[in-house]
């Protein structure tokens, strides 16, 4: 006998797939794709198909009870304790720290383990009420882009509705690799579009290979390319003067730069052939045209400027607010659906604005024994994902730093905890999911009991609030009330049980028009090509046609984008995934390999002032000279040299948002 339950994938992924779980007598549940789901159409990506039927359901791989450290930090030596003991010990430590140093000495860091709304947002209520300091989550991923889109359009989370592609004649995919990061959008959405697809990426990704046109530019040269395209568009006479006059400010200030960036100059700056620049402009000019900017695009030293420059294309050509047009960075689907995310995270519980620390500053700030006394890391694995891995480990070793880590698995980060708390997985509690690209919401349905003594994030922090002696009602709101409240805010005409039966729903039946009313949330209410606000922030008033300096002294610019086999660092511990994806490799061009005296299959070292890491070389003719590729997401503790790429990630900040510029990491390649 078997029955099935519908649920949805809550990972940090554009697709937001539907799942069907088959419950079978005396056998492990089988996690499969939901055939009724419009994005994934019955299939999961390869990594989830493996890991959801692998480590996620393997009690020997999961954390199943609270644990207290017994050995040296980093050694992962723990003893099992009860929840009561764990929570009371944490509460008494926190009270002591708050009484002597104030709540700001408590720091929490969290990010993208699960994006299901309650598990992702609710624990923030606890930290907001407490008045803790926070590591700015987006500073490791996409903060520069958010700042840039805000300056230009006043909003960074209102993109296009992907369904509107039916009205488009062209789509630019700029600095995103859906063949890895949105595999079903790559497989169906892109291939079924009648629009011409132009991919702008330094790598020949599978999405680039399948596109009508691929502009293989040098990394960090995107602003120059944007201006080059604008130059051609202007000379073709396709600037939309009515739109520019009524909806933008500062177009006259940007014109001299556009006039200067002719195709010859642009080609020299970017490495893209003149004909390709003209062809891309021609395809975009045919309009209506859409622009999808990936998150990699802004992980550059000039990432904010790049986003502001690329964002000029829709503004100058009027590709805004009409079917088949627009620009997408992310869609804040739950907010469009009516969910009050600030309330879910308890933003109003915070008496005063707490300290925000960038991931780029985490290691040096944490090492300082006077500033941070307690660290909570939940829903994130910083000792795999964050920069300056060596320094960060040293910071986590500080004996007078009280560290609590909440995860489903024992990770590189839990190894340094004083207290490890086991989190239930998405198969083990009800919650709400969404896609940050497609405009649908989904039910996360409980399929089985939490493994061992594990608990959902939200329940852990309810219990901790109780142990602290807090009585504020919002800290104890239960999941049923939270889910009912979200359903009534969205008001789709059915309740959470109805959503569970359906699996998912689109927040509108027809494509949602974005920016149709042509009002923008900038100070002027218009698209701010020239921005006083930027100037006040110490940034240029207008976007600049600059390119990043090329690496010096034979160094390579190391790109470490999304891997097909891992979701950030999640799944890095699944044995089948480890087997499928093979050893850690770095791809380099034949010229760079020759210069470094490296052959295919050689063991090589990548090093810089921050650290060194050893991998296997792959000579790849599709790589541009001066560029190296190695995918993110491996677990340091499972590597032969006990570190991953973030060992050489220098934590240099982008120009905006104190954000990462990881794709500009420079390394020296040498044989081992
Ligand atoms: N070199 C390099 N580094 C990068 C990037 C890059 O491009 N290159 N990309 C960066 C980006 S874009 C991001 S977003 C970050 C992401 O970095 P992280 O936020 O660290 O993401 P993950 O590595 O997937 O870690 C998430 C952790 O959450 C756990 N988890 C899953 N579900 C739950 C749950 O329900 N509760 C709890 N408590 N834990 C759960 C998982 O087991 C996993 O250990 O990495 C960044 N790091
Ligand atoms: N399978 C899988 N899916 C994922 C993730 C994962 O780890 N694995 N991570 C998730 C997360 S947290 C995020 S933030 C997203 C990220 O997903 P994306 O937005 O797609 O970003 P990345 O994978 O970092 O890089 C995408 C492409 O940008 C290119 N790129 C790098 N530098 C430049 C540049 O200077 N200019 C241009 N034009 N392109 C450049 C890279 O070569 C790469 O092909 O994916 C999500 N989905
Ligand atoms: S990670 Fe992405 S592609 Fe894979 S099942 Fe989840 S939503 Fe789908
Ligand atoms: Mo991310």
| pLDDT at residue number 26 | 86
How, if at all, do strands 18-24 and 30-33 pair? Answer: antiparallel
Cis check: omega of the bond before 288, within 30 degrees of 0: yes
User: Which atom of ligand 2 is nearest the CA belonging to 112?
Assistant: 12
- Residue 177 CA to residue 294 CA, distance in Å, equals 8
Nearest protein CA to atom 45 of ligand 2, as residue: 181
Q: Which CATH number fits domain 556-671: 3.30.2130.10, 2.40.40.20, 3.40.50.620, 2.10.69.10?
A: 2.40.40.20
How, if at all, do strands 106-110 and 133-136 pair? Answer: parallel
Report whether residue 428 contacts ligand 2, using a CB cutoff of 6 Å: no
Closest CA to 328 of 142, 547, 564: 142
How, if at all, do strands 170-174 and 289-293 pair? Answer: parallel
- Distance of CA 313 to CAs 147, 500, 626, 654, Å? 18, 41, 28, 22
User: Which atom of ligand 3 is nearest the CA belonging to 15?
Assistant: 7
- Residue 239 CA to residue 313 CA, distance in Å, equals 9
Report whether residue 330 contacts ligand 1, using a CB cutoff of 6 Å: no
Q: Which two tokens stand for residue 421?
A: 């708390």
Can you name the residues that pair with 199 across neighbouring β-strands?
A: 173, 214
SS3 272: coil
Mean pLDDT of all residues in 534-552: 97
Dihedral of alpha carbons 556, 547, 202, 651, sign: positive
Tell me the pLDDT tens digit for each residue of 166-197.
999 999 999 999 999 999 999 999 999 999 99
Name the phi and psi angles at 52, rounded to 5: -70, -25
CATH 2.20.25 applies to domain 2-57: yes
Mean pLDDT of all residues in 464-485: 98
pLDDT band of residue 649 (cuts 50, 70, 90) is very high
Tell me the pLDDT tens digit for each residue of 573-601.
999 999 999 999 999 999 999 999 999 99
Distance of CA 401 to the CA centre of its chain: 28
User: Which atom of ligand 1 is nearest the CA belonging to 649?
Assistant: 1
Report whether residue 381 contacts ligand 1, using a CB cutoff of 6 Å: yes
Q: Which two tokens stand for residue 480?
A: 């049923």
Report whether residue 409 contacts ligand 1, using a CB cutoff of 6 Å: yes
Report whether residue 663 contacts ligand 2, using a CB cutoff of 6 Å: yes
Q: Considering the chain, what percentage of its residues have pLDDT values greater than 90?
A: 98
Nearest protein CA to atom 47 of ligand 2, as residue: 181
pLDDT band of residue 624 (cuts 50, 70, 90) is very high
pLDDT band of residue 309 (cuts 50, 70, 90) is very high
Dihedral of alpha carbons 148, 150, 156, 159, sign: negative
| pLDDT at residue number 77 | 97
What interhelical angle do 222-235 and 303-310 show, nearest 10?
20
Q: Which residues line ligand 3 (CB under 6 A)?
A: 9, 11, 13, 15-17, 40, 44-45, 48, 183-184, 567
- Residue 421 CA to residue 214 CA, distance in Å, equals 47
Ligand 4 centre to CA of 380 (Å) is 11
pLDDT band of residue 613 (cuts 50, 70, 90) is very high
- Residue 43 CA to residue 184 CA, distance in Å, equals 9
Looking up tokens 């390119």 gives 547
Ligand 4 centre to CA of 141 (Å) is 4
Choice from 561, 628, 631 to test ligand 2 binding pocket (greatest atom count within 8 A of CB): 561
Closest CA to 138 of 334, 356, 327: 356
Closest CA to 379 of 458, 443, 446, 320: 458
Ligand 4 centre to CA of 143 (Å) is 10
- Residue 421 CA to residue 226 CA, distance in Å, equals 47
* Cβ neighbour number for residue 541 with a 10 Å cutoff: 17
| pLDDT at residue number 2 | 83
Same CATH fold, 556-671 and 67-140+343-506?
A: no
- Residue 208 CA to residue 280 CA, distance in Å, equals 13
Tell me the pLDDT tens digit for each residue of 53-105.
999 999 999 999 999 999 999 999 999 999 999 999 999 999 999 999 999 99
- The strand ranges marked E within 46-166 are 67-69, 78-80, 106-110, 133-136
Name the phi and psi angles at 209, rounded to 5: -65, -35
Ligand 3 centre to CA of 48 (Å) is 6
Q: CATH topology for 67-140+343-506?
A: Rossmann fold (3.40.50)
Closest CA to 650 of 295, 273, 321, 391: 391
User: Which atom of ligand 2 is nearest the CA belonging to 176?
Assistant: 20
Which numbered ligand comes closest to the C-alpha of 113? 1
Instruction: Count Cβ atoms within 10 A of the Cβ of residue 38 and give its class: 0-12 exposed, 13-18 middle, 19 or more buried.
Output: middle
pLDDT band of residue 162 (cuts 50, 70, 90) is very high
Q: Which two tokens stand for residue 367?
A: 């090492």
Report whether residue 292 contacts ligand 2, using a CB cutoff of 6 Å: no
User: Which atom of ligand 3 is nearest the CA belonging to 49?
Assistant: 5
Over 90: is that where the pLDDT of 354 sits? Answer: no
SS3 629: strand
Ligand 2 centre to CA of 203 (Å) is 11
Looking up tokens 């039916």 gives 166
User: Which atom of ligand 1 is nearest the CA belonging to 382?
Assistant: 20
Choice from 47, 137, 380, 382 to test ligand 1 binding pocket (greatest atom count within 8 A of CB): 380
Question: Which residues have C-beta within 8 Å of that of residue 414, sequence separation ≥ 6?
Answer: 63, 76, 405, 407, 420
Report whether residue 216 contacts ligand 2, using a CB cutoff of 6 Å: no
Mean pLDDT of all residues in 210-228: 98
- Residue 292 CA to residue 272 CA, distance in Å, equals 20
User: Which atom of ligand 2 is nearest the CA belonging to 205?
Assistant: 44
- Residue 75 CA to residue 85 CA, distance in Å, equals 22
Q: Which two tokens stand for residue 645?
A: 């790429």
Ligand 3 centre to CA of 574 (Å) is 16
Q: Considering the chain, what percentage of its residues have pLDDT values greater than 70?
A: 100
Supply the pTM of this predicted model.
0.98
Nearest protein CA to atom 3 of ligand 3, as residue: 45
| pLDDT at residue number 352 | 80
User: Which atom of ligand 2 is nearest the CA belonging to 225?
Assistant: 38
pLDDT band of residue 659 (cuts 50, 70, 90) is very high
SS3 590: helix
Nearest protein CA to atom 4 of ligand 3, as residue: 45
Tell me the pLDDT tens digit for each residue of 409-459.
999 999 999 999 999 999 999 999 999 999 999 999 999 999 999 999 999
- Could you tell me what percentage of the chain is helix, strand and coil, using 3-state DSSP and rounding each to the nearest 5? 40, 20, 45
* Cβ neighbour number for residue 472 with a 10 Å cutoff: 12
> Taking every pair of C-alpha atoms in the chain, what is the biggest distance, in angstroms?
72
User: Which atom of ligand 3 is nearest the CA belonging to 45?
Assistant: 4
**Element housing 19 (H / E):** strand 18-24
Q: Check: CB of residue 461 under 8 Å from CB of residue 126.
A: yes
Which numbered ligand comes closest to the C-alpha of 359? 1
Q: Check: CB of residue 589 under 8 Å from CB of residue 654.
A: no
Q: What angle do CA 514, 518, 522 make, to 5 degrees?
A: 95
| pLDDT at residue number 246 | 97
Dihedral of alpha carbons 362, 631, 589, 607, sign: positive
Tell me the pLDDT tens digit for each residue of 368-412.
999 999 999 999 999 999 999 999 999 999 999 999 999 999 999
Q: What angle do CA 605, 608, 609 make, to 5 degrees?
A: 140
Report whether residue 457 contacts ligand 1, using a CB cutoff of 6 Å: yes
For the chain, the C-alpha Rg in angstroms (whole number) is 25
Nearest protein CA to atom 38 of ligand 2, as residue: 175
Q: Check: CB of residue 360 under 8 Å from CB of residue 303.
A: no
- Residue 155 CA to residue 192 CA, distance in Å, equals 29
Ligand 3 centre to CA of 13 (Å) is 6
Q: Check: CB of residue 294 under 8 Å from CB of residue 208.
A: no
* Domain spans in the chain, listed from the N-terminal domain onward: 2-57, 67-140+343-506, 160-328+517-536, 556-671
pLDDT band of residue 353 (cuts 50, 70, 90) is confident
| pLDDT at residue number 351 | 84
End-to-end CA distance of the chain: 56
| pLDDT at residue number 31 | 98
Choice from 11, 180, 187, 222 to test ligand 2 binding pocket (greatest atom count within 8 A of CB): 180
16 Rama sector, left if φ>0, alpha if ψ -120 to 50, beta otherwise: left
Ligand 3 centre to CA of 383 (Å) is 24
Report whether residue 573 contacts ligand 2, using a CB cutoff of 6 Å: no
Q: What number does CATH give the domain 160-328+517-536?
A: 3.40.228.10
């Amino acid at each position: 006998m078997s029955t099935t339950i519908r649920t949805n994938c809550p990972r940090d992924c554009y697709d937001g797939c539907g799942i069907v779980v088959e419950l079978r007598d005396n056998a492990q549940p089988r996690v499969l794709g939901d055939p009724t789901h419009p994005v994934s159409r019955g299939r999961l990506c390869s990594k989830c198909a493996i890991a959801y039927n692998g480590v996620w359901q393997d009690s020997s791989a999961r954390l199943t009870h609270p644990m207290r450290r017994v050995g040296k930090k980093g050694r992962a030596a723990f003893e099992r304790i009860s929840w009561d003991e764990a929570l009371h010990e944490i509460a008494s430590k926190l009270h002591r720290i708050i009484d002597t140093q104030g709540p700001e000495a408590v720091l929490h860091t969290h990010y993208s383990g699960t994006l299901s709304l309650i598990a992702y947002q609710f624990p923030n209520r606890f930290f907001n009420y407490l008045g803790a300091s926070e590591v700015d989550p987006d500073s490791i991923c996409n903060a520069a882009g958010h700042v840039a889109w805000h300056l230009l359009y006043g909003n960074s989370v209102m993109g296009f509705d992907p369904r509107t592609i039916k009205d488009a004649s062209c789509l630019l995919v700029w600095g995103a690799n859906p063949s890895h990061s949105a595999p079903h959008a790559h497989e169906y959405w892109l291939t079924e579009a009648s629009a011409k697809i132009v991919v702008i990426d330094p790598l020949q990704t599978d999405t680039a290979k399948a596109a009508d046109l691929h502009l293989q530019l040098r990394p960090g040269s995107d602003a120059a390319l944007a201006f080059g395209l604008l130059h051609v568009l202007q000379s073709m006479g396709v600037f939309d003067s009515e739109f520019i006059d009524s909806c933008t400010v500062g177009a006259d200030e940007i014109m001299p730069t556009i006039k200067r960036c002719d195709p010859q100059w642009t080609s020299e700056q970017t490495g893209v052939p003149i004909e390709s620049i003209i062809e891309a402009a021609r395809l975009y000019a045919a309009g209506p045209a859409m622009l999808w900017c990936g998150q990699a695009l802004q992980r550059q030293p000039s990432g904010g400027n790049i986003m502001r420059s690329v964002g000029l294309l829709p503004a100058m050509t009027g590709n805004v607010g009409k079917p088949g047009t627009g620009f997408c960075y992310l869609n804040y689907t739950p907010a469009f659906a009516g969910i009050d995310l600030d309330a879910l995270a308890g933003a109003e519980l915070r008496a005063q604005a707490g300290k925000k620390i960038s991931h780029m500053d985490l290691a040096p700030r944490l090492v300082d024994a006077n500033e941070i006394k307690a660290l909570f890391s939940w829903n994130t694995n910083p000792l795999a994902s964050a920069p300056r891995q060596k320094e960060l480990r040293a910071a986590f070793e500080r004996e007078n730093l009280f560290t609590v880590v909440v995860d489903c698995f024992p990770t590189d980060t839990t190894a340094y905890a004083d207290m490890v708390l086991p989190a239930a997985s998405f198969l083990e509690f009800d919650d709400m999911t969404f896609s940050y690209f497609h405009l649908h919401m989904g039910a996360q349905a409980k399929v089985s009991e939490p493994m061992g003594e594990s608990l959902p994030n939200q329940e852990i922090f309810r219990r901790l609030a109780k142990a602290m002696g807090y009585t504020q009602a919002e800290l104890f709101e239960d999941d049923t009330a939270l889910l009912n409240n979200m359903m009534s805010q969205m008001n789709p005409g059915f309740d959470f049980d109805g959503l569970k039966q359906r699996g998912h729903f689109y927040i509108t039946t027809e494509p949602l028009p974005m920016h149709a009313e042509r009002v923008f949330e900038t100070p002027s209410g218009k698209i701010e090509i020239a921005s006083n606000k930027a100037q006040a922030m110490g940034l240029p008033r207008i976007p600049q046609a600059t390119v990043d300096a090329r690496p010096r002294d034979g160094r390579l610019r190391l790109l470490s984008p999304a891997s097909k086999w891992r979701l950030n660092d999640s799944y890095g511990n699944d044995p089948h995934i480890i087997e499928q994806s093979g050893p850690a490799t770095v791809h380099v061009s034949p010229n760079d390999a020759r210069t470094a005296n490296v052959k295919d299959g050689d063991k090589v070292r990548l090093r810089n002032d921050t650290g060194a890491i050893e991998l296997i070389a792959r000579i790849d003719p599709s790589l541009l000279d001066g560029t190296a590729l190695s995918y993110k997401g491996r677990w340091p503790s499972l590597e032969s040299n006990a570190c991953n790429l973030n060992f050489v990630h220098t934590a240099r900040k982008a120009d905006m948002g104190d954000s990462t510029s990881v794709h500009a990491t420079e390394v020296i390649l040498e044989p081992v």
